[in-house]
């Protein structure tokens, strides 16, 4: 089987699957169970300053259900750890001692004051953990106190705090980024400028997941009131993939390791993050939904896929899709495809016809043959938009096939319709 061992920003783990900083990594009991199950690493639930811990609300989670599928999206209004700092530090030290081969990273969030970072770094270093992750991402509760996303949305603060941390510790410093920004490159470049050893993303997306129409308040409601929270789970994966890819192909961030987070529930999700440049991946919602045993499928699935494709190890696949991520203006406008219906698989539901007829290009003819409904693509009208393929309820029934046009590659920068076009080379 392919070699799944991972070296990320100098941190070693037996596989690239780490648990993200969240309830699954809140205490020794959980992290030990996870390591026993086979997780390669864990980012401990975010620690705050010494003193009385934060206080959480009772109700704190909300979910997005789609057609009966639970937790497609997940929302929380939880804060950082609500356990005493010294208890967490003692447990971290013990876990690292007992599990030396696993990656153990400690997530931190303290006020934007150099002394606060300096002092917590010294105590964390004493645990012998493998690195720290700066939580500049939490969008609720802590940001109102000038921490979390309040730092992560201001590149100058990211750079400043990262630099402090690099000055005050020898441990690798990962900077966890918030997706609640207009352009992820500002924060990513600031982290690099500050000397970050890596970035990890995404933290949760600002959201109101639902409104309780009986209580007339956002869910989850706390004694009749609700507030915005952090959104995660499978529904946020596309946002995370895009942000990871943007950083991976940014020349200013070249070589900066990326830990991919957001909606990872299967080996395939993980493989997509790796292909777009993530050197390790982190999982939260899927573990909260299905428990730690999902690591078996993640590891086996990723290993089998690497074997099947002939990739010997993780470096062979990390970033492999990045050269194929481009800007829209460089896509080939002469590339032509049309839809094809496999009549043997078709169940005659008519969804392709109605989707194309009402909202696309009137390119699926609905007829009757021997009294039975029949659907056929009209090649001359089909623009190849894919809508019918996605709307069709039968997997593999509609496929898109390439049409040979004999025309050369032509992108928008070269197109005659573009008033700003450059001469074709």
**Binds ligand FMN by CB under 6 A, chosen from 64, 105, 151, 284:** 284
* Residue 37: φ, ψ to 5°: -70, -25
107 binds, among ligand SF4, ligand FMN, none (CB under 5 to 8 A by kind): ligand FMN
Does residue 375 interact with ligand FMN by CB under 6 A? no
Which SS3 state, helix, strand or coil, does residue 219 take? strand
Does residue 365 interact with ligand SF4 by CB under 6 A? no
Does residue 354 interact with ligand SF4 by CB under 6 A? no
The angle at the Cα of 315, spanning 312 to 317, to the nearest 5 degrees, equals 75
Close Cβ partners of 307 (under 8 Å, ≥ 6 residues apart)? 1, 2
List the structure tokens of 61: 């989670």
Q: Respond yes or no: is residue 382 known to be catalytic.
A: no
Q: For residues 147 and 46, what is the distance between their CA atoms, to the nearest angstrom?
A: 12
Does residue 135 interact with ligand FMN by CB under 6 A? yes
Does residue 262 interact with ligand FMN by CB under 6 A? yes
* Mutual angle of helices 155-168 and 185-193, in 10-degree steps: 30
Does residue 63 interact with ligand FMN by CB under 6 A? no
- Return the sign of the alpha-carbon dihedral for residues 220, 226, 231, 234: positive
**Binds ligand SF4 by CB under 6 A, chosen from 314, 377, 406, 420:** 377
Does residue 121 interact with ligand SF4 by CB under 6 A? no
Q: Of 6, 112, 129, 138, which residue is the catalytic one?
A: 138
Least Cβ distance, residue 27 to ligand FMN (angstroms): 13
Give the residue among 329, 221, 331, 318 at the shortest CA–CA distance from 260.
Answer: 318
Q: For residues 418 and 413, what is the distance between their CA atoms, to the nearest angstrom?
A: 7
Give the residue among 160, 142, 250 at the shortest CA–CA distance from 204.
Answer: 142
Does residue 263 interact with ligand FMN by CB under 6 A? yes
Give the residue among 241, 133, 234, 224 at the shortest CA–CA distance from 179.
Answer: 241
Does residue 219 interact with ligand SF4 by CB under 6 A? no
Least Cβ distance, residue 417 to ligand SF4 (angstroms): 20
Question: What part of residues 64-103 is at the interface with ligand FMN (CB under 6 A)?
Answer: 74, 76, 78, 80
Does residue 72 interact with ligand SF4 by CB under 6 A? no
Chain residues that interact with ligand FMN, rule: CB under 6 A: 20-23, 45-46, 74, 76, 78, 80, 107, 135, 137-138, 176, 203-204, 232-233, 236, 261-264, 283-286
Chain residues that interact with ligand SF4, rule: CB under 6 A: 339, 341, 346-352, 355-356, 360-361, 363-364, 375, 377, 382-388, 392, 394, 397-398
């Amino acid at each position: 089987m392919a070699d799944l061992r991972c070296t990320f920003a100098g941190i070693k783990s037996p596989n690239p699957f780490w648990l993200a900083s969240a309830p699954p990594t809140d205490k020794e009991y959980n992290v030990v169970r996870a390591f026993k199950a086979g997780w390669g690493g864990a980012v401990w639930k975010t620690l705050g300053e010494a003193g009385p811990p934060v206080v959480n609300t009772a109700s704190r989670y909300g979910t997005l259900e789609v057609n009966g599928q639970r937790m497609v999206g997940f929302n929380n209004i939880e804060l950082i750890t609500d356990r005493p700092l010294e208890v967490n530090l003692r447990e971290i030290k013990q876990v690292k001692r007992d599990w030396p081969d696993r990656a153990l990273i400690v997530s931190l969030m303290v006020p934007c004051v150099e002394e606060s970072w300096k002092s917590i770094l010294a105590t964390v270093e004493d645990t012998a953990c493998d690195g720290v992750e700066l939580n500049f991402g939490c969008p609720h509760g802590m940001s109102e106190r000038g921490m979390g996303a309040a730092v992560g949305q201001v590149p100058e603060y990211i750079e400043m705090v990262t630099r402090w941390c690099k000055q005050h510790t020898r441990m690798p410093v990962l900077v966890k980024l918030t997706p609640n920004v207009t352009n992820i490159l500002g924060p990513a470049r600031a982290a690099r400028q500050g000397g970050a050893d890596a970035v990890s993303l995404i933290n949760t997306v600002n959201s109101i997941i639902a409104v309780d129409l009986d209580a007339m308040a956002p869910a989850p409601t706390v004694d009749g009131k609700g507030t915005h929270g952090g959104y995660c789970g499978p529904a946020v994966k596309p946002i995370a993939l895009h942000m990871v890819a943007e950083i991976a192909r940014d020349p200013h961030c070249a070589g900066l390791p990326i830990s991919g987070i957001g909606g990872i529930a299967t080996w395939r999700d993980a493989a997509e993050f790796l292909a777009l440049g993530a050197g390790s991946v982190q999982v939260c919602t899927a573990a909260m939904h299905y428990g730690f045993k999902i690591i078996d499928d993640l590891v086996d699935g990723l290993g089998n896929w690497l074997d099947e494709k002939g990739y010997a190890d993780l470096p062979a696949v990390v970033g492999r899709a990045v050269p194929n991520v481009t800007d829209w203006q460089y896509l080939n406008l002469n590339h032509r495809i049309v839809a094809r219906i496999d009549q043997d698989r078709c169940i005659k539901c008519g969804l392709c016809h109605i989707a194309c007829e009402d909202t696309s290009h009137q390119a699926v003819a609905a007829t009757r043959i021997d009294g039975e409904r029949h659907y056929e693509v009209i090649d001359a009208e089909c623009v190849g938009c894919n809508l019918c393929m996605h709307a069709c309820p039968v997997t593999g029934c509609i496929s898109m096939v390439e049409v040979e046009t004999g025309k050369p590659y032509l992108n928008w920068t070269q197109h005659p319709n573009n008033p700003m076009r450059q001469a074709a080379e």
